[in-house]
Amino acid sequence: MGRRPTVLFVGTFLSASSGTMGISEKIMEALDDAIVTKCASSFENKVLRMAHIVWAVLFSTYNVLHVDVFSGMAFRIAQTATWLGKLNGKKVVLALRGGNLPSYVARHPQRVARVLERADVIHTPSQMLRDFVASRYRVDISYLPNFVDVSRFQYHHDSYKPFSLLWVRAFAEIYNPEAAVEILEKVRAVYPEATLTMVGPDKGKLGVTMNLIADRGVEMFVRIVGPVSKHELPAYYHGHEVFLNTTSY
């Protein structure tokens, strides 16, 4: 058997502190037997995170550089990592993940173009992003949906609580947690038994959400769990009737 290739995954890997594992971390875990994986970075401090990424791209040993691409300030990670990776003579794979990338492109078209030009391969789990980038920059974008281990989600009709809603996201602006509370209020107008469970770490909107829950008078019908491990999540999915996805993009 030949030597396994080494892939350096660049992005934000904060599952140890946030309790939420990103898709690239899941990919690394799933491919652990096929390739050697490294990642940068797991530092919570943004300055240390960028410093670690720069060091890893320039000085660690790897064959392929895989970079998650988001919009906003996070785009600077992709911008820096791809430039250094090409400077270091590495193959570059981009994963387009930011749902707000089209708006970012409108403000920074040349910056985005330069990053995309450095990629040897580009993939995205979003058909919207694939079509958007293909129509403006390059057509060789692969559609690669995020994977789910369905063996962990064996559905049984009698396993869930009737009229139960489940929301699993970070309490962040882009995931619009207030919408879940407003949905509960409307559902309860028809089904008074309805309840809502909210699972995820606070990214700035937990306080606002709790204030809205109190304002709408539904405190007795909302359970806020906070972050949970990926091994605990299936139990929440099995135990609820409806999953809410309230992302703003």
Given a cut of 80, is residue 51 above it in pLDDT? yes
Lowest mean pLDDT among 2-6, 102-106, 213-217, 222-226: 2-6
Query: What distance lies between CA 97 and its chain's CA centroid?
Result: 7
Mean pLDDT of all residues in 201-212: 95
pLDDT band at 230 (very low <50, low <70, confident <90, very high): confident
Mean pLDDT of all residues in 112-129: 95
pLDDT number for residue 3: 80
pLDDT, greater one: 22 or 163:
163
> 177: which 2 tokens?
């947690």
Given a cut of 90, is residue 242 above it in pLDDT? yes
> 159: which 2 tokens?
């396993």
Q: What percentage of the chain reaches a pLDDT higher than 70?
A: 97
Cα separation, 23 vs 147, whole angstroms: 8
Token pair 């994977």: residue: 147
Q: Which ranges of 31-157 does DSSP label H, i.e. alpha helix?
A: 46-59, 75-87, 101-107, 109-117, 127-136
Per-residue model confidence as pLDDT tens digits over 156-205: 777 788 999 999 999 999 899 999 999 999 999 999 999 999 999 898 99
Cα separation, 193 vs 203, whole angstroms: 29
Q: Which fold has domain 153-244?
A: Rossmann fold (3.40.50)
> Helix (H, G, I), strand (E, B), or coil: what is residue 38?
strand
CATH class, range 6-143: alpha beta
Interior angle at CA 141, CA 140 and CA 143, nearest 5: 140
CATH 3.40.50.2000 residue spans of the chain = 6-143, 153-244
**8 strand-pairing partners:** 38, 65
